[in-house]
Amino acid sequence: MRKIIATNSLDVANKYGSNWTYFLISEDKRFIKIGSTIQPLRKRIIGVNNELNYRDLNFSFYLAVRGIMHEELFHEYFKQYRACFRWTEKDGSYSYLTNKESWKRSLKNTPIKGEHTRKLRTFWYFNSSAMHTRLELFKFPPRKVLPKLESIVLEVIESQGYEISFKE
């Protein structure tokens, strides 16, 4: 079994250098960014918080797993929670939504005028208000997934044949 390091301490991560798949949590605890870096993590977090798309979210370190190859695994595993739609309101304000939330908001804002017409209007409303992005944002249910995120991540890594050495 291959050994791998995981940590919830930024100091520990920096001690081991670069090459991490990381989880950052937004200040309001509503969003998680999953990414990978070959830079030292502290430097990457500063970079993320200076990026235009993430600046307002003010991310901090949550968890990291050694190796950049795990990023795609976690993107696929958590894809139902991916907040890849930037929803723009009429007043110019915006929010990041999952696919399900975007369609739900489109339906809510579409008046009922016959089933066929409603489907077309919902589709039009969705296309005019939601922009698909490549952002690596995930919106986990606060009571369902977020409290268990660390253990879920470790289970996923173990399922790939790794033995985890967790450093705090």
Residue 10 has pLDDT above 90, yes or no: yes
- Order the strands of the 60-66 sheet from edge to edge: 137-138, 32-37, 20-25, 60-66, 2-7, 162-167
Task: Render the burial of 130-155: b for 16+ CB within 10 Å, e for the rest.
Answer: beeeebbbbbbeeeeebeebeeebbe
Confidence of residue 125 (pLDDT cuts 50, 70, 90): low
pLDDT-derived band at 114, boundaries 50, 70, 90: low
**Mean pLDDT in residue range 9-31:** 94
Per-residue pLDDT, averaged over 29-46, amounts to 94
CA 58 to chain centre: 14
- This prediction's pTM: 0.82
User: In the chain, what are the domain boundaries?
Assistant: 2-82+135-167, 86-132
pLDDT cut 90: percent of the chain above it: 54
pLDDT score of 100: 81
* Backbone angles phi and psi of 33, in degrees to 5: -105, 125
Only one residue has tokens 């919106």, namely: 139
